[in-house]
Structure formats: C-alpha cells, structure tokens
C-alpha cells in the first residue's frame, strides 16, 4: 500500500477553497501563447532601443550645431573688436573653444572641442572673385572651424570679411 504525501483534493475541500475541480483543467496559458507574447514584447523593446539611438544621435548633432553657431558669433565679435591697423595679426592664428562654444584662453586639451584657424585671402583674389570697385579695402579670411578635438576630423569653412578703413 502506497501513501501519498500530498493531500488529496476532495470535492468538499475544493469547494471550501472556491475551486471547482471540473473547471480547473485548462484555465492557464499554453506554452505557444506565452512564447508569442514574449516575442511580441521583445520586438517592441528592440524597436524602442533603435529609436532611442536615433534620438541620441539627433540630440548630439543639434548640440554641435548650436555650439558652432556660438563659436561663429564669438569669432565675429572678436573680429569687430580688432582695430583696423591690427587686422594682419589675425592671419595664421588659431582660437580654441569648448563644447558650449565659449572661447578658451589656453588649450588645455581636456575641455577643448573646437579649433578655429584664420587664414587671410589675397586681396587681388577677392577683387577678381567679387568684382569689387577700385579703392575698396576689404580684408577677407577663410575661417576653418575644426572639431572634435584632438583628431579634428570634421571642419566647417566660411569667409569673413571686414573693411579696413
């Protein structure tokens, strides 16, 4: 005679617990249903992670664009403060900026992100390109803003001009 260690489910005990013994069979999810639900959930999570990567890239590019605008504004303000007799000192110089586009006094390497290099354009070249009338004393530079430090793999180039009276 074998005895079971588990209590036997009697109709009386099942009714007292609120369980109907005839209906308790087949009330759960099948393995196929669970696997399909996990697959759908996994697909949604992978899609959300992909969207997150796109959003982070967009935010990073937007931050660099706004920083570039700040750098250009700082360079323009710097050029306006230089006396016309000292404009030649700008040629061949480099200025450094942090990620927020604020100028740095010295390049310490840690917070440097942008480097702006000035190179003057020959006045004869400018006169021929833009058909300037004689007597116009226009000093023009090509400003190359290179980023990110230290490899400076990307650059933005633009012309900056100022009349030297």
pLDDT of residue 32: 95
Tell me the pTM. 0.60
Judge whether 12 lies within some domain: no
In a domain, 44, yes or no: yes
The domain tally of the chain equals 1
Where b means 16+ CB within 10 Å and e means fewer, 30-68 reads eeeeeeeeeeeeeeeeeeeeeeeeeeeeeeeeeebeebb
118 inside domain: yes
Helix (H) or strand (E) holding 125: helix 123-130
Q: Residue 23 falls within a domain, yes or no? A: no
Residue 10 lies in a domain: no
- Rounded to whole angstroms, the Cα distance separating 86 from 26 reads 91
The verdict on residue 6 lying in a domain is no
pLDDT tens, residue order, the chain (165 aa): 555 565 555 555 555 566 665 655 667 889 999 999 999 999 999 999 999 999 999 998 898 889 888 888 888 888 778 776 777 777 788 888 888 888 887 766 677 888 888 888 777 777 677 666 665 666 777 888 888 877 778 888 877 776 655
């Amino acid at each position: 005679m074998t005895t079971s260690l588990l209590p036997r489910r009697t109709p009386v005990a099942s009714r007292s617990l609120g369980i109907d013994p005839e209906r308790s069979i087949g009330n759960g999810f099948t393995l196929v249903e669970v696997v399909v639900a996990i697959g759908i959930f996994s697909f949604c999570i992978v899609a959300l992670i992909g969207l997150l990567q796109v959003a982070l890239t967009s935010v990073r590019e937007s931050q660099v664009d706004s920083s570039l605008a700040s750098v250009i504004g700082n360079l323009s303000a710097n050029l306006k403060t230089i006396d016309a007799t000292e404009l030649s000192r700008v040629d061949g110089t480099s200025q450094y900026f942090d990620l927020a586009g604020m100028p740095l006094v010295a390049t310490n390497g840690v917070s440097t992100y942008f480097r702006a290099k000035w190179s003057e354009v020959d006045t004869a070249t400018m006169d021929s390109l833009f058909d300037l009338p004689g007597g116009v004393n226009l000093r023009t530079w090509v400003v190359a803003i290179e980023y990110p430090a230290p490899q400076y793999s990307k650059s933005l180039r633009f012309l900056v001009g100022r009349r030297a009276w």
